[in-house]
Amino acid sequence: YFIVRSAALPIGDFGNYYYASKFLLHGRWGTWIYDPASFNLAIYSEGQRNFFLNYTPVPPLSALLYLPFAAFDAAVSKILSNSVNAVLLLFSLHRLQAYFKVNLWLMLLVPVLFFTPIRNIVYEGQSYFLLLFLLSEGLIRYLEQEKWVAMLLWALSIHLKVSPAFVVLFLLFEKDWKALLKLATVTVLCLLASLPFLGTSTWTNYSINILPRLFNGEINNTYSVNYQSMQVLLKTLFVPDLMHNPAAWFNNPVTYHRLSGAFNILIYGIAALCAFTKVKPEIKYCTWLMCAMLVSGYGNSFGLLLLVIPLFCLHTYFTASKGLFITIAVALFLIANLPLSWSASLPVPLQFPRLYLLIALFFTCVFFIKPVLKPYYFLTLFFAFIIPADLKKYTQNYFLPREENILTYNFNLQDDSLAILYFDDLGPQQKKMALPFHTKKVTDLKPAGKVFPHEYIPVSKLVNDSIIIYLSDRNRGIGFYTLRYELLK
């Protein structure tokens, strides 16, 4: 039902993979794919309507993986992709159930516990069924000593979504140097094999300009409560922003950096201690998986499906008593299905229920593993308080008093008026507004498209030889520009 219905819905996130692959198939691939405005305008010119897409978080190799679907109509391709992924989901559940000897009734609970992620994945045409297959089957093959197959599956998962790179830490702390070398070899070979199709400029741009900002949580709106991450919680509390976060409780970006760093060190440190404990490798694997989910600045409902892996791998702990299992099941159900709108009107710290439940689940698993915790281990948290913090990107030099649109891609100054060009789900739009000053002279500044750390400037104009007005995506999602200004001295 979900798969058939998904074809009648807007193309959703599947459009990212479908159109990137389609442009690649037709020889239109380039670094412009990673500019949201250029990507959306190109899709609009293809005749697609009622959509709003962003390919930026997706690694380049995904375009090759979805090439088989690019030969069909978008709706047909979405059905085909969802059908293939649904088969992979069923196969993954069967393999996990059989290998870890989980009772069949637990597998039958998966559609109930993870109803919202499964529904959203199908409706949006996301790739998390495939990701679950790659991560779970890779784990099983690793445990069966089929290392080359496992490394290939994990390498593909990293190329599909960056977050599965947690397997590197898993192998590192397992001291499985041969497997680590195999993973590196397969990952690099996949990259090299893609170069004739994707080009070196795409990979260079993604690695140098995009990936560091993704690690910083800069996807669309960096203050989005939907991400349900500690990074967003602390930023909302400590980093005011006139556009997206004017009601911050404190104006202290340094504290944000310190506390965010301390949280990451704590979670990574506990996961490392669990890795030194004498427990089964699959349990350590699950610990690193949940660690990666917690330290990420970007969370979504799709990725919660991956909690199926710890549910199956840790089932002997979770089912030790009826009361414990019911508690775990309720927690998983709330994590996966609790509507965030229920907490939207609450004070900021209470708007992150999924984050707190994930933290509780993580420490529950740690309790079962029982790593040796020494008080002096927590001294490592002080490293977070001595690392310098970059505060330059938090300047509030916005030219407009409010956000006119999240995806502005150009602007013009003429006859004492400002015209901004933007894209939304209705397509390319233009809005004009009066300027508070008279424009005597407007000069386009070169070079356009200047790149700074944490910032990209596609358009910049000098007005009246006294003020520079420019588009910038500083402290925002990559390519999601807003107007800023600088007064010349």
Please give the model's pTM, rounded to 2 decimal places: 0.92
- What pLDDT digit, counting tens, does each position of 76-91 carry? 999 999 999 999 999 9
Q: Are 254 and 271 in contact (CB under 8 A)?
A: no
Task: Work out the number of other CB atoms within 10 angstroms of the CB of residue 182.
Answer: 19
- Tell me what pLDDT residue 448 has: 64
The per-residue pLDDT for 226 is: 87
**Cα-based distances in Å from 171 to 32, 112, 465:** 35, 33, 58
pLDDT at 117: 95
Show the DSSP H helices in 100-252 as ranges: 104-113, 115-124, 128-143, 147-160, 166-174, 177-198, 200-205, 211-215, 230-238
DSSP string, 32-60: GGGSHHHHHHHHHHTT--S-----TTS-T
Angle at 47 between CA 42 and CA 53, to 5 degrees: 50
Q: What average pLDDT does range 19-27 have in this prediction?
A: 93
Alpha-carbon Rg for the chain in angstroms: 24
Instruction: With cut-offs at 50, 70 and 90, classify the pLDDT of residue 137.
Output: very high
Average pLDDT over residues 17-27: 93
* pLDDT digit string, tens, across residues 305-325: 999 999 999 888 887 778 888
- Residue 353 to residue 60: CA distance in whole angstroms: 33
